[in-house]
Amino acid sequence: MAASTANPETDNNPVLASSQLIKQGAEAKIYRGVFMGRPCIAKQRFKKKYRHPTLDAKLTNKRIVQEVRSILRCRKQGITTPTVFFVDQENQCIYMEDIQDSVTVRDFIRRLQKSTSPDDQTALQELADKIGSVLASMHSCDIIHGDLTTSNMLLRQPESSSPLILIDFGLSQISTLHEDKGVDLYVLERAFLSTHPNTEELFERVLKVYGQSYKKSADVLKKLEDVRQRGRKRVMIG
């Protein structure tokens, strides 16, 4: 495993020090490495230097606990997510399963969109069914993902037989509010249609399956329409 550049945040952590930094976002650094002999993804949240250290540690650890709680709650519901190996609150890091031999739904859709094969078009519809069903299951246990995009959904290969795998619960929360669930769907809709042009019908299929699979979906979909209207007004006002 290639070592990452020397870093005070990893020097006292042998797992991170021997891991490869693969992504750096606004809230965390993502490393790929090995944890107790198993391929892992390590997510280390940044220390916010503008906050008092004690307050920063408290808020960050609360966020980490919520992220892990959401993952475990989803798994209990039967939703496939990475297995959490260990939570290191001292170093503000979560070690979890590296989903190997996988592809993002983003890349999978783009590949199928380039094809004219009827089988590939059927695969797109089956994917929409999977997404709608998984979102219904997630919302039925009151998990709000907070960052639903096709980049945060994975499929193992072969994709046709893979369950949908949800990742990156860093912005997740527990909520029973229809409004929050409607916003969750709106975030996915905006990300979906901007990343995958000409897929309006495909996303409508996602919502149709969601509606059929979640008994409280009528209220959520009504809130989704409210959120859409607010979004249109903001665009018109500028």
Residues catalogued as catalytic = 147
Burial degree of 191 (CB within 10 A; 0-12, 13-18, 19+) = middle
At 173 the three-state DSSP class reads strand
Distance from C-alpha of 179 to C-alpha of 219, rounded to nearest angstrom: 9
Reduce the secondary structure of 4-51 to three states and give it as a string.
Answer: CCCCHHHHCCHHHHCCEEEEECCCEEEEEEEECCEEEEEEEECCCCCC
Question: For tokens 């990742």, what's the residue?
Answer: 167
Whether 109 and 150 have beta carbons less than 8 Å apart is answered as yes
Distance from C-alpha of 142 to C-alpha of 87, rounded to nearest angstrom: 23
As given in the structure block, the two tokens for residue 69 are 């709680």
The per-residue DSSP string of 93-104 comes to: EEEEE---SEEE
Give the helix ranges, DSSP H, for the chain: 8-11, 14-17, 53-76, 105-113, 118-140, 178-195, 200-213, 217-237
As given in the structure block, the two tokens for residue 203 are 């996303």
